[in-house]
Amino acid sequence: MITHVAFDADDTLWHSEGHYREAQAAYERLLGAYIDVADANVHARLLEVERRNIKRFGYGAKGMTLSMVEAAIAMTEARISATDIQRIVDLGVAVLEHPVELLPGIVEAVAEVAKDFTLLLITKGDLFHQEAKIARSGLSNWFHRIEIVSEKDVPTYRRVLDEVGIRPEQFLMVGNSPGSDIAPVLELGASAVYVPYHLLWAMEQGQGFDSASPRLRQVSQSSEIPTAVRSLAG
């Protein structure tokens, strides 16, 4: 019997990826003063640097900013000016300070699910940034426990469930990321509600899961989450 329902944060409770996309578009425009952006394949090269730096800097805007600086120096062969490096830092700061915009219907969905289940919030990323967004969201009081983790994989979910004192069959995860919110949860033996978001970071793509699993429901919008949760719980 499902007793605990966890929600992902970014692009499940509020918009997030769009702010990163805007910063990276501005980054490419800035580099256009130094290199042929299309020929240099800036997006792929930045992604390569970010992938390498995840274990150093973790997920989030700060890691992205450091990776953008590193990649810019490499791609311009160190010709980029200190002024433009500052502009790159400013792009990262803008992501850190963007307002929290909740997804339509998510407040009502969270409140409805909270009537029958204990709620958790499990998100990954920079600790300070995630704490600030959670505080600004106005949703924190709904959650019995908030976990900001460095990675969302089977060992992490197992640790959280052990600390909460529940078994996988008592747990359900709601989220938008196949690789972070769905695949590891199903592998663990728990249930999941998949709520795709129209944007998905490249490093979250490519992770498959069993779409026919009886422990999975897919919905298209926040308002459908409570019904999907109750369906799995039933």
pLDDT band at 206 (very low <50, low <70, confident <90, very high): low
More confident residue, 39 or 26: 26
When computed from its CA atoms, the radius of gyration of the chain, rounded to whole angstroms, is 19
For residues 188-216, give the mean pLDDT: 85
pTM: 0.92
Architecture of domain 4-15+100-233: 3-Layer(aba) Sandwich (3.40)
Architecture of domain 17-97: Orthogonal Bundle (1.10)
d(Cα 74, Cα 68) in Å, to the nearest integer?
10
Tokens of 70: 């590193």
Q: Specify the pLDDT at position 205.
A: 65
The CATH 3.40.50.1000 portion of the chain extends over 4-15+100-233
The CATH 1.10.150.240 portion of the chain extends over 17-97
Q: Specify the pLDDT at position 208.
A: 75
Show contacts of 194-198: CB within 8 Å, 24+ apart.
194/218, 194/219, 195/12, 195/219, 195/220, 195/221, 195/222, 195/225, 196/220, 197/11, 197/12, 197/17
